[in-house]
């Protein structure tokens, strides 16, 4: 079966029917969740601190649901209107933008503390027209230069994708480096045709104290348990009904509200002595 990106542009391929089919497929949900947890692991964000992330190619919000669970604020961009419509129906918490990432981003410099992308980057490797601005190198250059600007210093971007050749990997990494990024390719389970996953782990700036950020190690077969460590820890935090136990104490809520205010978000509730207080059940 031909790969989706070779059949039609994403905004056409993911029409109303395909968008709903993709979102309700339990296998897609599981794969998307596993790769999102792994991307967050590679982002290596400071624990117990609020962060504002960019979900590139957010689709119907499957990755966004994981970001919500982990307590992150986020904004998502996608080119497929039908996918974003499903995301709105699912009432995801992130801010959604209809945008062609091949034309670049319009966010203010330093807007995001990190970025993730699941199964999206390969869509930029196909020219839809013969116009020079539709060529993969031109679109990748616009993508990486504007992404670099949108990220704060220091930070990371973790982009999982499905390359069809080593030449595609070389093209992508070289253009990312020219845009200013450090980092490189991380491959999980390189000897498994089924489980192999490719992540482009990009760095903006150093790791603090004048040190350079170190490229994470890919997972091997014997380390398979590590890739699901975050998911298992999350499951442990669920109560018997399956709902996630609340980890949002007063300090965490105040930090997140202050982050929203700094980013100019409207309608942030005022702080009070009741902020973060657990409400008594009503009868």
CA pair distance 252, 247, nearest whole angstrom = 9
Q: 80 Cβ partners below 8 Å, 6+ apart?
A: 10, 11, 13, 14, 19, 59
CA pair distance 86, 101, nearest whole angstrom: 19
Tokens of 122: 């390969």
Give, for 186, the enclosing helix (H) or strand (E): strand 182-188
The rounded distance, in Å, linking the Cα atoms of 62 and 193 is 24
Q: Note down pLDDT in tens along the chain; length 283 residues.
A: 579 998 999 999 999 999 999 999 999 999 999 999 999 999 999 988 899 999 999 999 999 999 999 999 999 999 999 999 999 999 999 999 999 999 999 999 999 999 999 999 999 998 877 788 889 999 999 999 999 999 999 999 999 999 999 999 999 999 999 999 999 999 999 999 889 999 999 999 976 555 778 999 999 874 554 545 555 555 545 444 444 445 567 787 887 778 777 767 788 888 887 787 766 555 4
- The answer to whether the CB of 141 falls within 8 A of the CB of 124 is no
pTM given for the model: 0.80
């Amino acid at each position: 079966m031909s790969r989706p990106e070779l059949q039609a542009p994403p905004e056409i391929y993911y029409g109303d029917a395909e968008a709903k089919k993709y979102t309700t497929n339990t296998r897609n949900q599981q794969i998307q969740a596993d790769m999102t947890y792994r991307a967050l692991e590679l982002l290596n964000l400071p624990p117990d601190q609020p962060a504002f992330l960019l979900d590139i190619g957010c689709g119907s919000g499957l990755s966004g649901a994981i970001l919500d669970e982990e307590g992150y604020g986020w904004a998502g961009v996608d080119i497929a209107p039908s996918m974003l419509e499903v995301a709105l129906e699912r009432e995801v918490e992130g801010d959604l933008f209809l945008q062609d990432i091949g034309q670049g981003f319009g966010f203010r410099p330093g807007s995001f503390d990190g970025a993730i992308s699941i199964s999206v980057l390969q869509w930029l490797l196909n020219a839809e027209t013969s116009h020079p601005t539709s060529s993969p190198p031109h679109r990748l250059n616009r993508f990486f230069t504007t992404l670099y600007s949108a990220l704060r210093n220091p930070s990371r971007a973790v982009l999982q994708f499905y390359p069809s050749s080593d030449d595609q990997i070389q093209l992508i990494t070289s253009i990312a480096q020219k845009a200013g990024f450090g980092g490189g390719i991380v491959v999980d389970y390189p000897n498994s045709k089924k489980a192999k996953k490719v992540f482009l782990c990009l760095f903006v700036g150093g790791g603090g104290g004048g040190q350079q950020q170190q490229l994470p190690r890919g997972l091997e077969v014997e380390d398979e348990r590590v890739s699901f460590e975050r998911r298992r820890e999350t499951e442990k935090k669920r109560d018997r009904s399956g709902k996630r136990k609340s980890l949002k104490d007063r300090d965490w809520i105040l930090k997140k509200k202050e982050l929203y205010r700094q980013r100019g978000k409207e309608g942030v509730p005022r702080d009070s002595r009741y902020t973060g207080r657990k409400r008594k059940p009503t009868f």
